[in-house]
């Protein structure tokens, strides 16, 4: 099992722990599962935290 799958499962388990009803619980499980998946991909080395923090180059350079 890869770290990404383990992270996804961990996020979903946390979501089910907070399950007390309806659509809000569904959103909680989906959000925590996505966060767990991303953290797992970072731990696997497939993603780097800087990938989410870099600015896009718009081509409007001043100088």
Domains of the chain, residue spans: 3-47
Return d(Cα 48, Cα 26) in angstroms, integer.
Answer: 28
Q: What is the pLDDT of residues 30-43, one digit of tens each?
A: 787 788 888 888 88
**What is the tens place of the pLDDT at every residue in 5-28?**
888 887 777 777 777 666 677 677
Eight-state DSSP code of residue 45: T
As a whole number of angstroms, the distance between CA 21 and CA 28 comes to 10
Q: How far apart are CA 46 and CA 36, in angstroms?
A: 14
Q: How far apart are CA 29 and CA 41, in angstroms?
A: 18
Give me the mean pLDDT over the 47-51 stretch.
77
For residue 60, is pLDDT > 60? no
Q: Which residues contact 23 (CB under 8 A, 6 or more apart)?
A: none
pLDDT at 61 over 60: no
């Amino acid at each position: 099992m890869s770290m990404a799958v383990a992270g996804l499962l961990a996020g979903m388990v946390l979501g089910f722990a907070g399950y007390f009803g309806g659509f809000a619980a569904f959103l909680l499980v989906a959000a925590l599962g996505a966060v767990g998946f991303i953290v797992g991909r970072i731990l696997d080395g497939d993603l780097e935290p800087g990938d989410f923090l870099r600015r896009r180059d718009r081509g409007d350079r001043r100088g």
